Every structure is written in C-alpha cells, then in structure tokens.
Amino acid sequence: MEPDHRACGPRSRRVLAWLAAAGLGLALLAAAGTVSASAGRAPAPASTGQAPAPGHMALTGKIIGIDPGHNGLNYTSPAFLDRKIWNGRAWEGCDTTGTQTAEGYTEARFTWNVATYLRADLTRMGARVVMTRAGNHGLGPCVDSRAQILDRAHANVSIDIHADYGPPAGRGFTILEPVADGPNDRVIRPSARFGRDAHAMMLRYTKLPVSDYYGQNGYISRDDLAGLNLTTMPKVLVECGNMHNAADAALLVQPGVQQSVAAALAAAIAQFLATH
C-alpha cells in the first residue's frame, strides 16, 4: 500500500474537510443543525454512505453533467461502435467496449455504478443532474453525442468517468484535461482548475494512488477525445484506476470504493463551483 496521504479519515472529519473546502466552515453549526433537523423529516435518496454533507443544499440551482464511459451492451454491436464521428479534430469510432478486470468486471459497469452513486450525492446536495446514458444495458451513445447532451443541458461543470487499460504493473488514477481547439477554448482554464480539485479529492476520499504509469503526477492533456474537444463547459475525464492491475482492480470492483470515488467527485464539483 502507498502512504497515508490517501487514507480516508473518519466520516466526521471528511464532512468537516468538505465544509471547509467549500468555504462553508463558518456555517458548520447552522448546517449541522439543518442536517439533524431534516434527518427525520423526509426519506433520503439512496445513500452512498459517503456523501460529503448530507442534507446540505450547496448545489441548489446548479446543473451537473455526468458521462459514465461506454455501455453494457457495446460489445454486441461492432457495427455501431465503428460508425465514424467527428471528435472536434478527427474522425474516430462512435464508442468502444471499454476494458475489464481479469475476472471480467467491466469498465461499463464500474462507470455506471460510480455515476449512479455520484448522481445520488449531487441530487442530495440540491443539483440537477444530467447523464449521458440511462442505464447499463444499452448501446452508446456515441462519444460526440455524449458531449452534445451535456453541452445542450448547459451544465455548470461535467465529469467523464472511466477506468483504464494500462500495463499490469501500473497503478492509480489520472485526470485527463482538454486542449484548446475552438469549441472548448473558453473552458480550458476552468477545466484545469476543476482537474486540480478532482485530483485533490481523489487523494482525500479514496484509496487509489496517483498514477505511476500514465501522464505526469496524475495529469495528462488529451486532444483526441470528443468529450474534451467538444465541451463548452468545464470538464475533465478521470481514469479512476487501472483495471489491468490486480491491486487497482481489487479496489475498483468494491461498492465502497465506487462510493468513495463518487464522494470524491461530488466534493470536487462542490469545491469547484464554490470557489470559481
């Protein structure tokens, strides 16, 4: 295992850290009162058990886009995947099957699970959430359509969720960031800031280390991905870990780890929107 900078603290410490990060430290007592007052009042949405601040409506009025990479039935239609789409710089295939662990746990399932946990967290925080697919038993949509769905929703910020197919010895998460190409020119800098928030929160909330095989210190710029080339709102793509690495794979398949990734991304979104 890697050092302690990734270790999750007790839940109360995480909540405090999130509140402080969101610039809400002074509201702590009031927020705590609100949480306890509302706790017995309404049925909570499906809880991940990892939400940064249950009941706190820090994201009221915000629209958040979530793109869970791939889809559960993509493998059934090579013809669909081979359709050519324009990614903003070049023609490429509509989508891919995604990767899987040695035991056959698919990336599509992982990204869908994280996305649904994240949607629950964000909804509880008051946001309206737009997703690029409705389940894990379909095809696509194509990567250009995914970008367009979020652009048309006028999301304040969006996240693309993936897990990687890297060398078996490589571990860790990487934040993929857009490169200016026209459509995304105005969101390059805020995307970089959001990327730093996502990086920090992945370290704070999850047991996944910074990538030791891809990018630099957990970051890489990519100019060949439709989701980043075509975005008109701040967005990054997170490769949450390496499904080909046994240690990462053992983590990525666990619901608790998937919830911790969702909690990290929810905290990153809240911090980004509170401070930028």
Q: Which residues are catalytic?
A: 239
Backbone angles phi, psi at 193, to 5 degrees: -65, -45
Which is nearer to Zn ion, 197 or 239 (by Cβ)?
239
Which is nearer to Zn ion, 69 or 215 (by Cβ)?
69
Which is nearer to Zn ion, 52 or 98 (by Cβ)?
98
Q: Which residues bind Zn ion (CB under 5 A)?
A: 69, 98, 162
Distance CA 162, CA 99 (A): 9
Distance CA 83, CA 123 (A): 34
First CA to last CA distance, the chain: 34
Which is nearer to Zn ion, 52 or 69 (by Cβ)?
69
Which is nearer to Zn ion, 133 or 162 (by Cβ)?
162
Residue 69: CB minimum distance to Zn ion, A: 4
Distance CA 28, CA 20 (A): 9
Residue 163: CB minimum distance to Zn ion, A: 7
In DSSP terms, which residues pair with 103 in a beta bridge? none
Question: Which residue's CB comes closest to Zn ion?
Answer: 162
Residue 209: CB minimum distance to Zn ion, A: 19
The packing angle between helices 188-205 and 255-275, to 10°, is 140
Residue 107: CB minimum distance to Zn ion, A: 5
Sign of CA dihedral 234, 5, 59, 142: positive
Asked if residues 46 and 113 have their Cβ atoms less than 8 Å apart, the reply is: no
Sign of CA dihedral 244, 250, 253, 255: negative
| Long-range residue pairs from 191-196, CB within 8 A, at least 24 positions apart, any chain | 191/228, 191/231, 191/234, 191/235, 191/236, 193/234, 193/272, 193/276, 194/157, 194/234, 194/235, 194/236, 194/268, 194/269, 194/272, 194/276, 195/219, 195/236
Which is nearer to Zn ion, 55 or 98 (by Cβ)?
98
Residue 12: CB minimum distance to Zn ion, A: 35
- Say which residues have a Cβ less than 8 Å from residue 271's Cβ, sequence separation at least 6: 18, 21, 22, 197, 201
Residue 34: CB minimum distance to Zn ion, A: 38
Backbone φ/ψ region at 60: left (φ over 0), alpha (ψ -120 to 50), beta: beta
